[in-house]
Amino acid sequence: MNDLLERLRDRGWRLTAQRRVVAQVLDGDHVHFTADEIHARAVELLPEISRATVYNTLGELVSLGEVLEVSTDGRAKRYDPNAHHAHQHLVCSSCGAIRDVHPADDPIAALPAAERFGFTIAAVEITYRGLCPDCAAAQH
Amino acid sequence: MNDLLERLRDRGWRLTAQRRVVAQVLDGDHVHFTADEIHARAVELLPEISRATVYNTLGELVSLGEVLEVSTDGRAKRYDPNAHHAHQHLVCSSCGAIRDVHPADDPIAALPAAERFGFTIAAVEITYRGLCPDCAAAQH
DNA sequence: CGCCACATTAGACAGAGTCCAAGTCAATAT
DNA sequence: ATATTGACTTGGACTCTGTCTAATGTGGCG
């Protein structure tokens, strides 16, 4: 993730303290924070950073393809820095825990041509839902 | 869809004019309206119906399993009356058109046990994204 | 027909995200 | 090293979705 800042500088990004801090919060591959969670963590590193800047930076990271936007719950979007390895998400219906998972086959191939209605399919997002082991154990 | 009202009466629903109108708006299998679109159409049939009632009714239809909630764009949720046939969604990235589609194989089976992390998987939601024929043609 | 538990209503409220005008600063040129 | 400038940041107002509440209305049973 530290080469993220380098890739961004190569693309003409100005390296500001705020952008560094957002990148730092997103560091790590198994992180799925909301924008507000990212803002809260960023404030601890740089107290004067504003919500608008966090939103701006996340939006730019998403359109550069460095971060993925996932909305698994219809509430706040979450930001996934693991954008360079195709993966899908497994979500616990009870506690909301999220894991990155990898289906065995290319999920796009599973859609027959007759079901594509002439669309050019570019991407697929899959959310598996179920109970995580902890929540399943707590059912009684 | 007209037997929807009958199923609901059997389940103890009170048949009010408002609920009838919401059911009528949802009639048809290829409809993916937002709550506000449903409200706007309902108002044409019953001018005094309120937003809150539309939300209440949709919420009840969803928990009864008569209607599916889909959020394909991170913005307003859409309500899909085609809840009795398992299906997934194909969305145009440009105009937002939505089609119901049916993958060839059971999508849950495509997730290997080693990728389930002990979760009990109950459901899967898939969104295929791409350009519809019209938008692809309009690219130039 | 009358009752009353269930429905509906309007509007206030809340969460998530966007927009804007004014101020600040990173990177380049001098 | 300093000046310059356009990109970046800020805070607050604003929009959009959706939820909640207290007051009012009504479907369907007895």
Please report, in angstroms and rounded to a whole number, the separation of the first and last CA atoms in chain B. 41
pTM of the model: 0.93
Can you read off the two tokens belonging to residue B79? Answer: 């309500």
Residue B126: which pLDDT band, with cuts at 50, 70 and 90? very high
Integer Cα distance of B20 and B53 in angstroms: 12
pLDDT tens readout for residues B9-60: 999 999 999 999 999 999 977 899 999 999 999 999 999 999 999 999 999 9
Give A 98-127 residues with CB within 8 A of chain B.
99, 101-105, 107-108, 110-112, 115-127
Residues with CB under 7 A from strand C: A 9, 14-17, 34-36, 51-52, 55, 59, 71, 75-77; B 12-14, 16, 18-19, 46, 48-53, 56-57, 74
pLDDT beyond 60 at B1: no
Give me the helices (H) in chain B, please: 2-10, 17-26, 35-45, 51-63, 133-137
Residue B6: which pLDDT band, with cuts at 50, 70 and 90? confident
Contacts of A139 by beta carbon, 8 Å cutoff, 6+ apart: A131
Can you read off the two tokens belonging to residue A37? Answer: 């969670």
pLDDT of residue A2: 63
Integer Cα distance of B67 and A5 in angstroms: 45
